[in-house]
Structure 1
Amino acid sequence: MKNIKYYLLGGVITAFSLGLTSCELESEIYDSINGGIFPTTESDAEALVTGNAYSVFMNNGYDGMFNIATGVLLVSDLMSDYGECTWRGWEPILYNRWSVGNSYNDNHWRWAKYMGKITMTIDRIEKMDLSDDVKNKYLAELHCARGWLAFSMWDLYGPIPIADIETLKKPLEEQIIPRLSEEEMKNFIVTELTAAASVLPYSYAKESSEYGRFTKGLCNMVLLKFYMQTQQWAKAEELGRELTKAEYGYKLEPNYASIFKLANEKNAETIWAVNCLRGTQEHKWHPHVLPNDFPGSETLTKWNGYKISWDFFDTFEPGDKRLETIIYAYTGTDGTTHSEVNDKVSSDKLLYYGAIPCKYDCYDFVGTQGENSETDYIIYRYADAVTLYAEAMVRNQNMITDEALYWLNEIRKRAGLSEYQRSDFSNTRDFLDKLLLERGHELFFEGCRRQDLIRDGSYVDAIKHKCQVVGQTTLVNKNYERIPLPQSVINEGKGQIEQNPGY
């Protein structure tokens, strides 16, 4: 039997077969890597970075921060004003009944552990004998990962504990690391993403073998989101303008539905997506949204889960082409006609809670087999960037600029809707209201709505309205813009880690 040694790599296990010996299995656990074995080469460095910088930003079955079942983008939208779900038991998410110890909010904390892995990897790459270009590129990817993960955790929980490298090198010493202050956390996010953006390329061509790795465009998109959420309008406007430069190569696709088609993967509107491939990385979009009697999908797994509430669906204008990616009426395989009118009458109807956000490969399902889809899962796209840019301009300048109106109308024109004229807005607040709704229609189930409502100051009222419409109770107040830390984190903190206010 092979004699196998396991090397602990900041939480990542690498196994090496060291030749046939006896029939005895031996294991040795080390608290550090033997630098003479791994990592030493450029390919080692790439494996190390890929395993530690990218593994958290996955959507592979139920793994990764963007998975369809418990991913941060998906759950953020369920927490918004239009997120609904047929599965009862999801009420804490849907109606903001957060409580300490609830598994729904505890689940997201697991991504925080990757922060230490990334920091340890930065230390190892810095010590490797690599060319400056290669080393700087890998370090930039790691800093991008650390900044992006920090932003994602801050968005949900607020500041988190972040261990420095010296603390991480002493795993046997019991050390309690308090949460960063709000200012320290914000500075950390900006410093990491800015450093990465200064090194990484603007973007990668879809033909490039590097496509899917982190880029300057991704760093600046996350920074744009951060500046918007912290209401730093001037910086957000500057970054929004930056992302429209030709060097990035981004543009709006002419057809909305095609953005999410397998045949049109890696399109110019995509800023960053989880690259999926059959047998390698696949996501579970369709089983989470399709009703079990939907025709033309007999070979697919269907659980009839997530919905767009009928209350929000009814805000779409007639003729909006984005409705082509929403299933709001159909005749089931048993001949039953499903629609808002027919299904809202009883909770046992398949569309009682809302319309189906089909989005990916809608109606043809070519990227999905069984319950797994190989169609790239888009995290950020250009339409998100330019509408944030438009909002930042109006908020920063306190006026409706020509460029802000231009970008709002570009989104509407693609959707087949009439363009707005200046006379259509009574004031800047009216423009922002219309833009907020447009972003909801454009970016449904792309993880934007909760942030949009919080930034706008309308989150609490929107959730109260949602709950009133469906006859549900809610605990929502200003504190519920963030979710509580797991009780285990508070206990282990021994008084040095405080719970979020209101819990």
Structure 2
Amino acid sequence: MKRIYKIITTVSVLGVLTIGACENGLQEETFSVYDENTLTKPQHGEQGVRGVYAALKDNGGFGYYAGYLYWLYEYPADAVTTAVTARQGVQLDQLTYDATNAAINDVWTSVYRMISRANEAEALIKKIDYVKNGSSEQVKNQNIGEVRFLRALAYYDATSLWGDVPLLLKSSSEFTESDENPALTPKAEVEAAIIADLEFAESNLPPSYPPAEVARATSGAAKALLVRLYMRRGEWQKAADKALEVMNKNYDLRTPAEGGIVSLFDTGNRSDNEFIFVLKSSNEPGAYGINSNSFGINSTPWDLNRGWGSFPIHLQFYSLFDKTDDRRNLLTGKFTSLYGQVISVPKEFGGEGGTAPDTVLATYVYNLKYPHVNNYNYAGFNNVTIIRYADVLMMRAEALNELNGPNQESIDVINAIRNRAGLSSIQLASYSSKAALRDRIFEERFKEFFMEGRRRDDLIRWGRSASNGSNPLLKFKEKVVPTLRNPSTYSDNVDYTVYPYPQNEIQSNTSLEPSVNNGRVK
């Protein structure tokens, strides 16, 4: 941590303020982290907040939520796979990764860069007298709430991916010697800090912003992230109650009359009442390096629109969808290639099939949730979904089932998602046990949230519930092993609920020994 974190902290506020200044069209200025006499205006606090948001797309169009995070959440699961030439992705997809995997290192660095920026921004904002400078304590607390929400999001990802992680909640100017090489903090203690941050955020953030500021954190976003954390912890009543609070905050599902689930992910849909929190991407050509995402070009194949095809999806996943399910239209079931041939899913997987030479049978399908519309332009023009209302609804349905078994409200919530996709309703009488309805919920979640970074967490939570907490990898093993090129890659001696700590971190943080990865790699 020492090497990585010191580099981040000493440049974080510099980057924060120059980014913010550029976005506001202000004269660009660079200040020292410690120049308290200069950084005295509410606008400097606002700029600090903007810099923390910018860390969501660390490393331009690939880093953190702009791309690499989804490698860790999607590749090891059972829908997405990768081309054999993508070595780092193959390691994740086939469970052969170790502490040297570059994607694991990149995500770790991105997570702690955002934490660092959040800590620096919070310290800066607290020292600014907003009232004497024409603003208010309410705005000051809102700015702090945004920063603490983003820090909570970063720590949620860190604990989901690594479990115990270093917990740092202060600026670099307050560091002690032990902070330079921080030890691992127990996951439960980190989660307590996440909860504290989110509770502050939900009390101090507004319910909404003007449309142009759609990507800012709201009180609803803080509540929804709390729901996600309570679900992971198996605190079903807290999750159900907090989800209900979100349901009372004026969100809704995009309806079939509005274009339904497919139009939700249309490039032109920049703001929708179903999006609770998103990574904002530029809608301007040429924005790749500064304000976009890599999903468009990575999600689709060359034959479709000169995409890179980095996230091929198994044909078996396509076969799970009913032909009337609108969500299937977010996959490349059939398309005409750049070379004039029709690429079609074989009939045995639910497609139309076809014969050569006019038709080529697909070996994979691809995700269309992030359209890539400009050939050779790497920019992704979609806002990347981080939390959406459909997820909150499904989490409440799951929590209520875990509390009470099959119940009409859970059925109604599932039906709202199914009906929006053009499917018929399910009936309460068809589910005689908690396990049966749980399986239905996770089936619907699989089809609703593919390539939104939820599947790995879902498999682990499903396994924990199905085994009464004794085997969180029960469903992960059941679903993932059949998709491996070599099933013997899976080892019962590896804890796939956590990743290895990056080798770079072990080498730079004297509090960590190589043995810290025992049981995390084969």
Q: TM-score, normalised by structure 2?
A: 0.81
Distance 1:145 1:151 in 2: 10
Structure 2 gap ranges (5+): 1-8, 19-29, 131-135, 354-358, 464-471
Shift in Å, 1:187: 0.6
State the partner residue of 1:440: 446
Pairing 1:502–2:519 present: yes
* 1:388 alignment counterpart: 395
Give the SS at the match of 1:165: coil
1:236 alignment partner in structure 2: 239
Determine helix, strand or coil for the equivalent of 1:479. Answer: coil
What residue is the counterpart of 2:251 in the other structure?
249
Q: Give the deviation of 1:284 after TM superposition.
A: 2.5
Alpha-carbon offset, residue 149 of structure 1: 0.8
Q: Which runs of 5+ in 1 are unaligned?
A: 1-6, 17-28
SS of the counterpart of 1:379? strand
Contact 2:58 2:66 in 1 (8 A): yes
Counterpart secondary structure, 2:145: helix
Match of 1:479 among 460, 477, 495: 495
Give 1:376 deviation, angstroms: 1.9
Q: What is the RMSD of the two structures over their aligned residues, measured on CA atoms?
A: 3.0
CA separation of 1:214 and 1:329: change in aligned 2, threshold 3 A: same
Partner of 2:301: 291
Q: Is the 8 A contact 1:86 1:353 kept in 2?
A: no
Instruction: Spell out, residue by residue over 1:312-367, the C-alpha distance to the aligned partner (whole angstroms, 9 max, x if none).
Output: 2211122111111111223423343423339999xxx9976521111234xxx558
Q: Is the 8 A contact 1:368 1:374 kept in 2?
A: no
CA distance in 2 between partners of 1:316 and 1:14 (Å)? 45
**Separation (CA, whole Å) in 2 of partners of 1:211 and 1:496:** 40
Question: How far did 1:168 drift?
Answer: 4.4
For 1:137 and 1:350, locate their aligned partners in 2 and report how far apart those are by CA, in whole Å. Answer: 55
1:181 alignment counterpart? 186
Is contact 2:48–2:121 with CA below 8 Å preserved after alignment? Answer: yes
- Contact 2:104 2:502 (C-alpha < 8 Å) held by counterparts: yes
| 8 Å CA contact retained: 1:343, 1:351 | no
Q: Residues 304 and 350 of structure 1 are in contact (CA less than 8 Å); yes or no, is this contact kept in structure 2?
A: no
* CA distance in 2: counterparts of 1:404 and 1:14, whole angstroms: 43
1:327 to 289, 310, 332: 332
1:33 equivalent in structure 2: 34
CA distance in 2, matches of 1:58, 1:96: 26
- Please give the alpha-carbon distance, in whole angstroms, between the structure 1 residues aligned to 2:184 and 2:37: 36
Give the equivalent residue in structure 2 for 1:115: 115
CA offset at residue 214 of structure 1?
A: 1.0
The answer to whether the 8 A contact 1:8-1:30 is kept is no
The residue that corresponds to 1:102 in the other structure is 101
Q: Secondary structure at the residue paired with 1:93?
A: helix
> Structure 2: how far apart are the matches of 1:237 and 1:368?
44
Deviation of 1:276 after TM superposition, in Å, equals: 2.0
Q: Quote the Cα distance in structure 2 between the aligned partners of 1:324 and 1:401.
A: 31
Q: For residues 128 and 11 of structure 1, do their structure 2 counterparts lie closer, same or farther at Cα, with a shift above 3 Å needed? A: closer
- For these two proteins, the number of residue pairs brought into alignment is 466
State the alpha-carbon separation in 2 of the partners of residues 293 and 269 from structure 1: 32
Normalising by structure 1, report the TM-score. 0.84
Residues 461-497 of structure 1 show CA distances to partners (whole Å, capped at 9, x for unaligned) of: 5446544345324235461111000123223333556
The aligned counterpart of 2:368 is: 358
- The answer to whether the 8 Å contact 2:215/2:278 transfers is yes
Residue aligning to 2:460: 454
Letter of the 2:504 counterpart: S
1:191-233 deviation per Cα after TM superposition (whole angstroms, max 9, x unaligned): 1111111110123352xx4332111111111111111111111
Matched with 1:79 is 76
More deviation, 281-290/264-273 = 281-290
Q: What CA distance in whole angstroms lies between the structure 1 residues aligned with 2:323 and 2:362?
A: 21
> Once the two structures are superposed, what CA deviation does each residue of 1:356-385 show, in whole Å capped at 9, x if it has no partner?
111234xxx558872323222222111111
Match of 1:124 in 2: 124
TM-fit CA distance, 1:288:
1.1
Structure 1 residues 135, 102: closer, same or farther in 2, change over 3 A?
Answer: same
The CA deviation string for residues 99-147 of structure 1, in whole angstroms up to 9 with x for no partner, is: 2222232221112133233212211111111131221111111111111
Closer/same/farther in 2, CA of residues 283 and 59 from structure 1, 3 Å limit: farther
State the distance in 2 between where 1:84 and 1:123 align.
Answer: 42
> Which residue in 1 is equivalent to 2:202?
197
Alignment counterpart, residue 150 of structure 1, candidates 136, 141, 155: 155
Deviations 1:37-83 (A, max 9, x none): 2x1222222112211x2122227743441123x1x135311221111
Q: Structure 1 residues 55 and 85, CA, compared in 2 at 3 Å: closer, same or farther? A: same
Shift of the 116–190 alpha-carbon distance from structure 1 to 2, 3 Å rule, reads same
% same residue: 23
Report the structure, 1 or 2, having the larger helix content: 2
1:423 maps to 2:424: no
Change (3 A) 1:124 1:167: closer
How much has 1:171 moved relative to structure 2? 7.8
